[in-house]
């Protein structure tokens, strides 16, 4: 391939999911546009109990704690378009996603955030995410209630060719 010509974008779909809704969205996006999937996983997993995870994550968000991750993304350089998924936790993105953002350089990347929520829509998730990686170029986000992946439109996945 001539590097000066437009090529089809190389896509990464990175996400954190606690109860698998965000994962379902990630898999749906993958089915629609292809690309590689990267599951963001904290070394210390959150408990399954809703009450417990509410308590722990509230404290982490308050302290801006970045939980260490099980694995690092090897080479962000090879991607052009990066989907970043998180559940809405207390109106913002989940702490493991914050760690992931802090460990990678998104300059020159087109980023499409995707958020799963329980009724509060995207709240501050997208604005907070944008503040954390101002070097990225942001495209329209995808916001899904729970795991209602049928609401994802093909138009929202249109990111064009990459120069």
Ligand X SMILES: Cc1cc2nc3c(=O)[nH]c(=O)nc-3n(C[C@H](O)[C@H](O)[C@H](O)COP(=O)(O)O)c2cc1C
CB 22 within 8 A of CB 91: no
Nearest distance in Å: CB 46, ligand X:
8
Q: Which is nearer to ligand X, 62 or 78 (CB)?
A: 62
Q: Which residue is nearest to ligand X (CB)?
A: 120
Nearest distance in Å: CB 125, ligand X:
9
In sequence order, which ranges of 91-132 are alpha helices (DSSP H)? Answer: 95-103, 125-132
* Both tokens assigned to 94: 């989940």
Q: Which residues contribute to the site for ligand X (CB under 6 A)?
A: 17-22, 53-54, 57, 87-91, 116-120, 146
Dihedral of alpha carbons 81, 151, 42, 37, sign = negative
Q: Quick one: how far is CA 116 from the chain centroid?
A: 10
Q: Which is nearer to ligand X, 131 or 148 (CB)?
A: 148
Q: Which is nearer to ligand X, 22 or 99 (CB)?
A: 22
Q: Which is nearer to ligand X, 9 or 25 (CB)?
A: 25
Nearest distance in Å: CB 52, ligand X:
9
Between the alpha carbon of residue 84 and those of residues 51, 93, 133, 143, 161, the distances in Å are 26, 10, 11, 12, 19
Nearest distance in Å: CB 8, ligand X:
28
């Amino acid at each position: 391939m001539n590097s000066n010509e437009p090529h089809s974008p190389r896509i990464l779909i990175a996400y954190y999911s606690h109860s698998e809704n965000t994962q379902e969205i990630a898999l749906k996006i993958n089915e629609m546009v292809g690309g590689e999937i990267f599951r963001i996983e904290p070394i210390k997993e959150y408990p399954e109990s809703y009450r417990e995870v509410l308590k722990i994550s509230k404290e982490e968000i308050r302290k801006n704690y970045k939980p260490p991750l099980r694995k690092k993304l090897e080479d962000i350089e090879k991607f052009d378009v990066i989907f970043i998924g998180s559940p809405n936790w207390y109106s913002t993105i989940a702490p493991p996603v914050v760690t992931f953002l802090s460990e990678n350089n998104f300059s020159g990347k087109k980023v499409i955030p995707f958020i799963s929520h329980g009724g509060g829509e995207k709240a501050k998730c997208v604005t907070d995410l944008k503040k954390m990686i101002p070097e990225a170029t942001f495209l329209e986000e995808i916001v899904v209630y729970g795991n209602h992946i049928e609401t994802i439109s093909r138009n929202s996945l249109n990111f064009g060719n990459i120069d």
